[in-house]
Structure 1
Amino acid sequence: MAGRSIAHFLFGSLAIALGSYVYLTMQIDMSANNDYKNAASIYEFTVKDTHGNDISLDKYKGKVLLVVNIASKCGLTKNNYQKLTDLKEKYGESGLVILNFPCNQFGSQMPEADGEAMVCHLRDSKADIGEVFAKVDVNGDSAAPLYKYLKAKQTGTLGSGIKWNFTKFLVNKEGIPVNRYAPTTDPMDIAKDIEKLL
């Protein structure tokens, strides 16, 4: 009888400990997603590269950044890939870094998987567009914290939500978003704003 009581006690204690762990883990994850509200700059965010490695954005301190949600099957893809490549070639050595985040939220127009499939797609498209990160959501509860931060700092014309592929955020050398551009904005039309920040 005593053995059964001890077993029940141990099982109950284990269940409580496991439940507490799950609850605390969920709270930590939830608070991590809300950190964007208190972030002073994008340097406080860590993202995954296309191969799943953690990348702290503070590695880009002192650089001018252009953050873009990209897609491979969009009507805007060809022009944006070409013009982002042109921007990188023109301003890369002066301190511009383009951060590309594949996104499949708009018409499922980014079907390529992260990793080698993404690298091959960009190579085949002759898109030397800069740094490429893991696929993210940019809208909704599942949006990447970085994108929640960007949208809070630079709202769009009709609200903060990202409307389509190739929305662009320009970030100064202090990691502060200073401008937002519509998907239809030609990347080369951003050149004058980039030059002011370099």
Structure 2
Amino acid sequence: MRTVPISAGDLTARARIVASALERFAAHGYEAATMRDIAAHAGVSTALVTHHFGTKQALREECDARVVRFIAEKQDAPGTPSDVLGEVLGTFGPYLARMLGDGGAASDALFERLLEVARATIADGSASGWLRPARDPEAQAAALVMLGVAPFLMLGPLTTWAGGDSEAALQRIAAPLAELYTHGLATDDRLLAAAGLATEEAR
């Protein structure tokens, strides 16, 4: 097999390949995305992708590692834990939505990292008093991740609904989601009662 020449531009090419893989995996899913498509989108040859990463699975692992490093950097940076989940989803939302939906060990590992961020958000919010206590904080963390990822999972229909502009779609639903988080949705306990969680006052 012919060796691919290594040039000074390879480091930049590697970064382009990872960025392309994040986008192609997000757009098509892991199974449907091809090394050829990733290479074309990055403006490099398929041979160079293979030279840097070997296999598509290794490239997926590098994409996941990129997300994990981003989370770690944000957690170490100044700011509150509540900022981290928003920044992670704002940067990698489409990729996370697709990869979490694919299932498997790698998806489970990504979900667990997002749960860690959500747990920290809840702990910080509860300690500082800006989050209401939950009956089940662990389920609350899972719900935060689920609600955060959901708009990206629905990005296709939302984009159509917003006239073909995905950014406009995300911006438009941001306010109702913030209202839902802040004020809730229902004005009485009927939803809690339906879930078997009605307050003592309502029983």
Q: TM-score, normalised by structure 2?
A: 0.31
1 or 2 for the larger relative contact order (CA 8 Å, sep ≥6)?
1
The structure with the greater share of residues assigned to strand is 1
